[in-house]
Amino acid sequence: MTTAQSATDPATTDPTAADPTAAPAGDVPRKGGVVTWACAPGFPPAVIFPFTPAERMGTRNILEFQALMYRTLYYFGSDGTPNVDYHQSIGEEPVWSEDGRTARVRVKPWKWSNGETVCADNVLFWVNLMKVKGPRYGEYVPGYFPDNLTEYGKLADDEVFFTFDKPYSKHWVLHNQLSTITPLPKAWDRTADGPANASGDLADVEAVYDYLMAEQGDIINEGNEHRTRWAESPVWSVVSGPWRLKSYTLEGVVTFVPNEHYSGPNKPHLDEFRQIPTFSDEEQYEVLRKGPDAEGGFQVGYLPLSFATEPAVDPVVGGPNPLAEHYTMHPQTAFCIRYISLNYNNPTVVGKMFAQTYLRQALQSVLDQDTAVRDIYQGYAYRQNGPVPMYPRTEYVSPRQREGAWPLPFDPKHAKELLEANGWDTSRTPAVCVRAGTGPGEAGEGIPEGTELTLLMRYVEGRPALTRLMEGFRDAAAEAGIELRLREVYGSVLVAEDAPCVPTEETPCLWEMCCWNGGWAYHHPTGEILFSTGAGGNFGFYTDPKADALIERTVTTDDLDVLYEYQDYIAEQVPVIFTPNFPIRLFEVANTLKGFGPINPYGMINPENWYYAEDPA
């Protein structure tokens, strides 16, 4: 994969450059055809409204569902590198004022599927939603966009402006602030009583939001029948992207057809794109073995890591493909990190234990990433030492974290020593607190004497490789005196139940450790979305004033040393337990299907680029 540009020279995709998705010489795309896609088990799309809450922020909801229908203001990663692509973006390149505080953005006159022109009001509709309902949006961070605006508004029907409270890194503003915007159509600016004006009046936002959430339906209930009506909805059927929803069954089968009014580049070649749920890696692999033309066959699936037959030399390139007779492998290496979330808001002693840095360091020290990379993931994975993605290769990773296992290599003996030095008797498992208190050598605030070091580790079911990782984690933790009680949970249920929470009578907030086999895909890895106090992606409610201050420095400069200082601190503090990183999927693409690459490093998919070639004359 092409190496990304450095942070000091943020790149964009040249709109005059050759289209990386263009058909290879000799291939003539055929109009028509159907592609069936095998979905990973456990995560049917639960939210169609792009203003997605944190508990439903995920690849299946956003990147593989919403993004096909509702295009964001800026589009990233089209050429396989972590850069903005203005050619495929609704917004033109921002124009900055001399003082570096005001950005002007012109909106291209794309069309909504109902004939409306995409305009400045559509952008302001979204920003006003964030202004009023920000805490219910998964990428909202208190103090950042739009809280860090002193003024914003419309300059013309096709132009908006944003004035920030101080100069920030322009690269960061584009990648982490303006990137959160999804223009919303005028047809959505209404309540059950009729049209409203949420794009121009903050007083209308609450009622419009409530109406749209009612049209969306329950975001938690797996039997939400609203999903079966989304395709015909006068709200959700108004789209800006290359696809519109044809149907969504309660069984989770999603069917898209082309949006014939799509005015962006790369119009779809296919007649239909179908997403079919699978219930385990084993089931999906067995279907792939039969080939794409078999009854119920998939044209796009994935090779489960547990079924890789030979090691990969490079996780980006992959290794020998056991399905090569019918499929071509495309590793989907994303600009992301993976981790286990910890619930700092758990009101029991568990929350108090997670507040102790030494205990988190002990947990990180008993997760054997290197053995997992070699023996479980067959070389398709790579260790993740801290909060900045290791792949695609960039200069963003601090020198200390680029090689080896700094700061916390696998070392159960060191984990045991950490616990013993802080008031725990590790002669048994689970270890027992024998020195309560907040002084040197004591367990820490809120941890009474006699407390047992036992933790519930819930993780997504149906992933054999993840199960092996969790079992190894449990066994090594036991060597240090930590009891991990493992429990597999259906994916969509897991992320709904082990969600950001504040303890109340209605939501006791008792989850402890959670692994959904994922993490977070960045645009720019400054960390405010994951580790700032109160951030939407800060699922466990981690808070650290020093981390907040270091993150605040990273967003105002492109100085790499500032980014390194922040990430080295986070790596040592381990607010989450970093796990081996690996491609989102090892895509298996039918040999007859063209246009699949290059792979988007942000996890987005572009079925509008896929096609079957005309038979040679």
pLDDT of residue 15: 40
Q: What angle do CA 605, 606, 611 make, to 5 degrees?
A: 130
Q: Burial level of 99, CB count in 10 A (0-12/13-18/19+)?
A: exposed
* Segment 277-295, tens digit of pLDDT: 998 889 999 999 999 999 9
Mark whether 403 and 534 lie in a shared domain. yes
478 and 554 in a single domain? The answer is yes
pLDDT confidence of 616, banded at 50, 70, 90?
low
Q: What is the CATH number of the domain that holds 341?
A: 3.10.105.10
Distance set, CA 78 to CA 21, 84, 267, 276, 599 (Å) = 8, 8, 15, 25, 8
> How many Å apart are CA 77 and CA 332, to the nearest integer?
12
Determine, yes or no, domain membership for 212.
yes
Check pLDDT > 70 for residue 10: no
pLDDT at 83 over 50: yes
Q: Are residues 130 and 145 in the same domain?
A: yes
- The pLDDT > 90 percentage for the chain reads 79
The predicted structure's pLDDT at residue 25: 56
State in Å, rounded, how far the first CA of the chain is from the last one.
34
Q: Tell me: the pLDDT tens digits for 521-541?
A: 889 999 999 999 999 999 999
Q: What residues make up the domain containing 594? A: 241-333+582-611
Domain final residue, candidates 217, 250, 272: 217
pLDDT at 43: 79
pLDDT at position 7 over 70: no
Q: Would residue 514 count as lying in a domain?
A: yes
600 in a domain, yes or no?
Answer: yes
Does 382 share its domain with 485?
yes
Average pLDDT over residues 513-518: 93
Q: Compute the average pLDDT of residues 462-488.
A: 96
pLDDT at 614: 84
- Give yes or no: residues 356 and 209 share one domain: no
Distance CA(336)–CA(392), nearest Å, equals 9
| pLDDT of the residue at 11 | 38
Nearest to 388, CA basis, from 340, 332, 336: 336
Does residue 64 form part of some domain? no
3-state secondary structure of 412: helix
pTM: 0.90
Residue 554's pLDDT band (cuts 50, 70, 90): very high
Is the pLDDT at 18 greater than 50, yes or no? no
Using alpha carbons only, how large is the chain's radius of gyration in Å? Answer: 24
User: What is the DSSP secondary structure assignment for residue 306, as one 8-state letter?
Assistant: G
Residue of 396, 393, 405, 371 lying closest to 476 (CA atoms): 371
Cα(544)–Cα(249) distance, rounded to whole angstroms? Answer: 44
326 and 340 assigned to the same domain? no
Q: What is the pLDDT of residue 23?
A: 59
pLDDT for 372-382, tens place per residue? 999 999 889 99
pLDDT single digits (tens) 586-613: 999 999 999 999 999 888 999 999 999 9
306 versus 236: the higher-pLDDT residue is: 236
Same structural domain for residues 436 and 570?
Answer: yes
Residue 57 has pLDDT above 90, yes or no: no
pLDDT at 439 over 60: yes
Determine the length of the chain.
Answer: 617
Domain harbouring 124, CATH code: 3.90.76.10
Domain count, the chain: 3
Asked if pLDDT for residue 137 goes beyond 90, the answer is: yes
Please give the Cα distance from 177 to 145 (Å, whole number).
6
The overall longest dimension of the chain from CA atoms, in Å, is 82
Paired strand residues for 156: 159
What DSSP string describes 478-536?
HHHT-EEEEEEE-HHHHHHHS-S----SS------EEE-S-EEE-SS---HHHHSTT-T
**Shared-domain flag, residues 469 and 571:** yes
Q: Report the DSSP beta bridge partners of residue 255.
A: 247, 274
- 404 versus 344: the higher-pLDDT residue is 344
Measured at the CA of 603, the angle between CA 149 and CA 368, to 5 degrees, comes to 105
Question: Cα dihedral sign for 221, 227, 230, 236?
Answer: positive
Q: Residue 189 domain-assigned?
A: yes
266 and 346 both lie in a single domain: no
Distance CA 556, CA 562 (A): 10
DSSP secondary structure letters along 179-215: GG-----GGGSEETTEE--TTT-GGGHHHHHHHHHHH
pLDDT band at 26 (very low <50, low <70, confident <90, very high): low
Q: Check whether residue 434 and residue 306 sit in a common domain.
A: no
Query: Are residues 380 and 341 both part of a single domain?
Result: yes
Asked whether the predicted pLDDT for residue 496 surpasses 60, the reply is: yes
Residue 465 inside a domain? The answer is: yes
134 sits in the region (left: phi over 0; alpha: psi -120 to 50; else beta) called alpha
- Specify the pLDDT at position 594: 97
Whether residue 391 sits in one domain with residue 307: no
Q: Is residue 535 part of a domain?
A: yes
